[in-house]
Amino acid sequence: EVQLVESGGGLVQPGGSLRLSCAASGFMFSTYWMSFVRQAPGKGLEWVANIREDGGEKYYVDSVKGRFTISRDNTKNSLFLQMEGLRAEDTAVYYCARFSSTSSYHYGLDVWGQGTTVTVSS
Amino acid sequence: DIQMTQSPSSVSASVGDRVTIACRASQGISSWLAWYQQKPGKAPKVLIYGASSLQRGVPSRFSGSGSGTDFTLTISSLQPEDFATYYCQQANSFPLTFGGGTKVEIK
């Protein structure tokens, strides 16, 4: 079964750090770009970051640049989001998702984890 | 950045109704567009990719059309399980961006 399972969410004080993990199974993880998407309480979806299959390219939404780092370990089929300098506005459910795309076609974010909740509050 | 604007933000409809949701990109994105359905407390699920291709396992009452800047998601005959929030998303360029969402509610 194709599956993504996130972990690592929790309550953190403003300015604090957190590391999210996403364990992939059921597909060849090393051949896919991967994404993090977040959803603040009662709000819409916001893309956070993407990482290429080999980790050689990374992209971020402006609001997290310099504070968040996406990485992956293809030997362990795992995706990570290191979050530092957390702010109240980073409070959200964070999803990892498989980004299925080629140079000529986008198949969408076609596999999603269940999400992990990050709450930034004092 | 490419802005994605969805309309309406909400729609009330009855079972069996035809529902159409629009999504407009601030610049041309060819067919680099996907549509998602999200139910409360659940992760989104992709319905349509490449603007008009139906994801495997998605009922044929869902369809997508458009290219360039204007796109449409149509539900031909609304079913009880279709009451949810729908999002469009462009993948033409980074940053990836989503529309604001359209909530389909029971009339």
| Sign of the dihedral through C-alpha A15, A95, A52, A26 | positive
Kindly identify which residue of chain B lies nearest to residue A99, measuring between CA atoms. Answer: B91
Whether B72 and B80 have beta carbons less than 8 Å apart is answered as: no
- Residue by residue, what is the 3-state secondary structure of A80-94? EEEECCCCHHHCEEE
Euclidean distance between CA atoms A72 and A69, whole angstroms: 10
Whether A101 and A33 have beta carbons less than 8 Å apart is answered as: yes
The answer to whether B43 faces chain A, any CB pair under 8 Å, is yes
The answer to whether B98 faces chain A, any CB pair under 8 Å, is yes
- Note the pLDDT of residue B106: 87
Q: How many CB atoms lie within 10 A of CB A38?
A: 21
Please judge whether B98 and A46 are an interchain contact, meaning their C-beta atoms are less than 8 angstroms apart. yes
Q: Which of A59, A62, A106 sits opposite B34 (nearest CB)?
A: A106
- Non-local (6+) Cβ contacts of B101 within 8 A are A44, A45, B6, B9, B38, B85, B86, B87
- What are the tens digits of pLDDT across the range A19-74? 999 999 999 999 999 999 999 999 999 999 999 999 999 999 999 999 999 999 99
Average pLDDT of the residues in B73-98: 96
Confidence at B92, pLDDT banded by 50, 70, 90: very high
- What are the tens digits of pLDDT across the range B68-77? 999 999 999 9
Q: Which of B6, B7, B49 to mutate to test the interface with A (most CBs of A within 10 A)?
A: B49
The neighbouring-strand residues paired with A97 are A35, A112
Average pLDDT of the residues in B14-20: 97
Where does residue B29 rank: exposed (0-12), middle (13-18), buried (19+ CB within 10 A)? buried
Q: Which of B43, B50, B96 sits opposite A47 (nearest CB)?
A: B96
- What are the tens digits of pLDDT across the range A111-121? 999 999 999 99
Confidence at A104, pLDDT banded by 50, 70, 90: confident
Chains A, B: CB contacts within 8 A come to 66
